[in-house]
Structure formats: structure tokens, C-alpha cells
Amino acid sequence: MGYRHPDRKNYLYEDNYDFYNSETWLEIRTEVLERDGYRCRIPECDITENLQVHHIIPRMYKHLVEFDIDHLDNLITLCNWHHKLAERLVSLSGKIQEHRFL
Ligand SMILES: [Zn+2]
């Protein structure tokens, strides 16, 4: 088992811990931030601080898609608040899907 980040209990993050600490991710992340002009991409938000790069289709679904899950087209810059909201929606949709398969 790898080291678990103490500040994040989010399983979506924990499963990808090594990836999110890799040089590759840092490079991709910088490219996305530059493309998005270092602003949250949610219309009328435009926050420029505490930005995070979000996977539109989550990395946990990478085996279900035919494109590169870490491609720039699947990534978007969000502020901390919108990122939390987006992750919560992903987590909720995961729970709904689990329930459907029971
Ligand atoms: Zn925002």
C-alpha cells in the first residue's frame, strides 16, 4: 500500500496518488492551467486562486473510454469550490451506479 495523503480522504484521489505526484501530471497540469489562462473555467466564476485541474471523465473510468483520460480535452481548470462540487457530483454518480448494480 502506498502512502496516503493526510489531507485527502477522497478515494478518487487516493487511487491515483502516484499519478498526481508524477512529473507527467505536473507537466499536463501546467499545460491545462496555461490553456485556461489560470482561471476557473466555470462561466462567471473566473477565480484565479487555489486552482485545480479536474478530469471531466474521472480517471477511475479510464478503462471504459477509448481516448487518453489524461488528454487536455478531458481536463479543465476549476477553483477549489467548483472542484469540490464537481468531485461530489462524480462521487454521487458512482454511488448511484453502484446502487443500480445491486
Ligand atoms: Zn470556480
Determine the distance separating the centroid of ligand 1 and the alpha carbon of 48, expressed in angstroms.
9
Instruction: Report yes or no on 30 lying in a domain.
Output: yes
Determine the distance separating the centroid of ligand 1 and the alpha carbon of 12, expressed in angstroms.
20
Average pLDDT over residues 5-16: 57
Determine the distance separating the centroid of ligand 1 and the alpha carbon of 50, expressed in angstroms.
10
* Residues spanned by the domain of 21: 11-101
Average pLDDT over residues 70-93: 91
What is the distance, to the nearest Å, from the Cα of residue 23 to the centroid of all Cα atoms in its chain?
Answer: 16
Instruction: Report yes or no on 25 lying in a domain.
Output: yes
Ramachandran category for residue 37: left, alpha or beta (phi over 0 → left; psi -120 to 50 → alpha): left
Which DSSP string do the residues of 43-57 spell out, in sequence order? TTT---SS-EEEESS
Determine the distance separating the centroid of ligand 1 and the alpha carbon of 88, expressed in angstroms.
14
For the stretch 23-72, pLDDT in tens is 999 999 999 999 999 999 999 998 999 999 999 998 888 999 999 999 99
Instruction: Report yes or no on 50 lying in a domain.
Output: yes
Q: How many domains is the chain built from?
A: 1
